[in-house]
A and B are shown apart, each in its own frame.
Chain A
């Protein structure tokens, strides 16, 4: 038999490649030497001091006056069954692909920061630090670490891990430019007084310096000994020891199909105030279910314990109140009003484009955008109109600024000022030169397709033609970032900060490609306001300037606010129990603060009831403790 040459070649090539790569054994790295050298080279940033150097006049706080927010009825134990729509692409906390949604369950919601925010009062309680104080410069915070704090591998958390954190996040090994920039540009110093006392300094005094500095996390130096250029691959599926209650055990990673997080036995904060009665499940099991409709069916069958957050269409059509599982009281439905900054959904009008450079046309478009009808129909009256570019900041409200309501007359008046007086044969306005008032709305939201068809129909009544361009999300984002759009329909997730950010969206310095200034706003007065706003450290000033900026945004009409939901919705089997108020004011999902628990006896009882046909009264609850008290009327704008 003659061998075909190709079959002979392939093994040879493999052998050759293998020979080349397997030359040297893997070196044993220890990055701590490099880290020490780095501290020395940046001695003005990494400062070693003695306990005697600690300022004497500090006003130490320990959050003891804050109320607990978990339910004392909570029982620990059991396994929660839940789903994720895609398997996490890595278990690293930083580096490529590390910003996936699963990391909430292993990091953001569970790992402890220096101090933690009480989610009802927005004040602070101890985390890894048991005491803290703000320095007289208003930008340095002092922390006394809790000596009991341990990583999940039993190693105590010490000041050195905070030094290492800065080395780690600034290192190019982690392949994470965002972290590199964030940890290089915003912090100016870290001081170690002893193993359990540190001070960190932010670049400037700001009202939310507690959030900015208190949210720092240590990085366990002993775990990252092998840090090097191969970090992304080497640590791809290794889970960093955590200070929080949950971690992933290696045996529970079933790539592509399921993953489980397990509670740490004898977690160091188990019975501390603010942590008892929380993080109650022993295990949380996540199945990968890629289609939300399938996940809903699995939930209704009883394979999943909690489902949500739920959008209105699913809430009313796919798990309606008269669904058998709801009617028989097996599954409960809950609507919870929270109070957090909402995503800034809206139309972003690119002022560099013809037609849109005319403010009369922009104002006309604002009057011709019938988001009111969208809220009433597509969102079934559940969503309300977004009023400004930054709704939902409890401490920076804008009670007197309202989005322009839908008004054909006002839209026509405004378009007429821009020379669009007559309607063409199809009802769309034309100017004297015969130019039609036609613009394209670009979006990456397939799920809001119906929103745009409603806007298009309604705008035509005011003589405005909106052409709809629904692109793949990445492509749409690219087009907007390059400022090639006319009108962008999009929204950004807003971090739960104390006050809004305006520089990103409205400062002329960002009126260029690859920024979030999608309106291409370049306005000297706006710049002046934003610069003052960024400099000030007083909350009153921040409120005053934010209002001035919002008025400017309103007058400019380049951003047209769309809609917001001041609540989230979940459905859960009746054996999942919640605190009396269901959840806390600053929660974005029901599970963020780990307040729920499983009642095994109820679960058994329900299983028996389902087989015997016994039913319970239906439970469809609305928790409106944090609902805005006065319904803000949509007011006719000046």
Chain B
């Protein structure tokens, strides 16, 4: 199916681009997402390039290289930071190129004689300090962001898939089906979602999939109300009647005619859904009902930070990161809402 933007949509996008705050937020968030996708190249304990005895190694995405490969006396994963120091000292033409932040989010770095958490230090490469077990705060923030975004995007996709489908069906078919489905939705949305998550998290340690499934299971209902209303409205329009007269099938009418015309409703919700999913995951992790340790997560960092106020770099950096990302999402959301506002383009007589 070829999907061409109609002039109306093009005008909406143009208007979005003209709202500077939202547009720039959108650009920054996109760049952050791209950076997160290639995170291993930026923040990682594995070197980008190692030159050793004339050979080049690119360990980032390959299988692990035991220390013995580079002349160390251990068989576990090479410590590239130490390797870099050794090569520099030996001056034999070997070298290591490390990523800008040379730590992965789950390794414990215990400098001798100091107890974590350690304060931010350029010399130690811990730009935002370390947490209570000596893990790099920046690395954990960054990978925590990536997991939160993956979670939020999957959450959004699934919630919209279910919500839009059910909502459309309710609006389009109406009658008894609508009546029954609405009651089901009402009952379903009254189940105390947080308790369910807490119960599930306490009897099994949820991984991303399980957590996502549980959260989606109780979050799709909100979308149905909007879609039901929109579909009711669209269904009454002449073009739908025309399609019906022409003999179009139900699925064709829903997917080809009604859905594209209700897209603007969905689109305006996207940034806010992302923000709320991020907040939700953070809150669950904060309470200890989220992803299992040692998964990097903002909630876990916030929890550590609030119970270790003597190490203010943990809570400050996490709080600022959270505020920053949520602000970006909100700015984008506002801009989209304004750009897609039908009042700009409809004249009521």
**A interface residues, Cβ below 8 angstroms from B:** 293, 313, 316-318, 320, 373, 377-378, 380, 408, 412, 423-427, 446, 449-450, 452-454, 456-457, 460-463, 467-472, 475
Contact = CB atoms under 8 A, between A and B. Distances in A.
B115 A461 contact: no
B76 interface: yes
Given A316-B115, A457-B108, A412 B203 contact: no
Nearest to A440: B205
A325 B132 CA distance: 25
B77 A427 contact: yes
B307 interface: yes
25 contacts: A316-B115, A318-B310, A373-B110, A377-B108, A377-B115, A377-B116, A377-B133, A408-B75, A423-B66, A449-B293, A450-B132, A453-B108, A454-B108, A456-B106, A456-B294, A460-B76, A460-B77, A462-B76, A468-B292, A468-B293, A468-B294, A471-B202, A471-B204, A472-B202, A475-B203
B99 interface: no
B279 to A, nearest CB: 22
A378 B133 contact: yes
B110 A423 contact: no
B308 interface: yes
Interface string B283-298: 0000010001110000
Interface residues on B, range: 20 to 34
What are the nearest 4 A-B pairs in CB distance? A425-B63, A472-B202, A461-B76, A427-B64
Nearest to B202: A472
Contacts of A377: 108, 110, 115-116, 133-134
B107 interface: yes
B348 to A, nearest CB: 43
A540 to B, nearest CB: 44
Interface string B95-127: 000000000001110100001100000000000
B74 interface: yes
B108 A380 contact: no
A408 B67 CA distance: 13
Nearest to B288: A446
B133 A453 contact: yes
Contact of B106 (A412, A446, A453, A469): A453
Contacts of A318: 310
Nearest to B79: A461
B195 to A, nearest CB: 13
Contacts of B133: 377-378, 450, 453-454
A463 B67 CA distance: 13
Contacts of A373: 110
A457 B135 CA distance: 11
Contacts of A320: 310
Interface string B59-92: 0001110100000001111000000000000000
A187 B308 CA distance: 51
Contact of A470 (B66, B205, B307, B310): B205
Given A293-B307, A468-B292, A470-B293, A425 B115 contact: no
Nearest to A457: B108
A471 B63 contact: no
A453 B308 CA distance: 18
A460 B294 CA distance: 13
B108 A475 contact: no
A408 B77 CA distance: 13
B81 to A, nearest CB: 15
Given A293-B307, A453-B135, 11 more contacts: A317-B311, A426-B64, A427-B64, A427-B77, A453-B106, A454-B108, A463-B76, A468-B292, A470-B288, A471-B203, A472-B203
Contacts of A423: 64, 66, 75
B105 to A, nearest CB: 11
Nearest to B133: A450
Contacts of B293: 449, 452-453, 468, 470
A457 B103 CA distance: 13
Nearest to A426: B64
Interface in B298-323: 307-308, 310-311
Contacts of B62: 425
A471 B205 contact: yes
Contacts of B288: 446, 470
Nearest to A425: B63
Contacts of A317: 308, 310-311
Contacts of B66: 423, 427
A451 to B, nearest CB: 9
A427 B107 CA distance: 14
A214 to B, nearest CB: 42
Contacts of A460: 76-77
A467 B291 CA distance: 12
Residue from the set A317, A424, A425, A468 with the largest chain B CB neighbour count within 10 Å: A317
Contacts of B75: 408, 412, 423, 463
A461 to B, nearest CB: 4
B304 to A, nearest CB: 9
A625 B77 CA distance: 46
Contacts of B110: 373, 377
Nearest to A293: B307
A320 B64 CA distance: 42
B106 A457 contact: yes
B294 to A, nearest CB: 4
Nearest to A292: B307
A320 B74 CA distance: 38
A472 B200 CA distance: 10
Interface string B128-140: 0000111100000
Nearest to A427: B64
B63 A380 contact: no
Nearest to A454: B108
B202 A426 contact: no
Contacts of A472: 202-203
Contacts of B310: 317-318, 320
A416 B230 CA distance: 65
A453 B294 contact: yes
A580 B202 CA distance: 47
Contact of A475 (B64, B115, B116, B202): B202
Nearest to A451: B133
Nearest to A469: B205
A363 to B, nearest CB: 18
A475 B110 CA distance: 33
B116 to A, nearest CB: 7
B115 A380 contact: yes
Interface string B4-16: 0000000000000
Given A408-B76, A425-B63, A427-B64, A457 B205 contact: no
A158 to B, nearest CB: 50
Nearest to A291: B307
A367 B76 CA distance: 15
A426 B106 contact: no
Contacts of B294: 453, 456-457, 468
Contacts of A293: 307
Nearest to B134: A377
B137 to A, nearest CB: 15
Contacts of A470: 205, 288, 292-293
Nearest to B294: A453
A293 B305 CA distance: 13
A383 B75 CA distance: 30
A318 B132 CA distance: 13
A366 B66 CA distance: 22
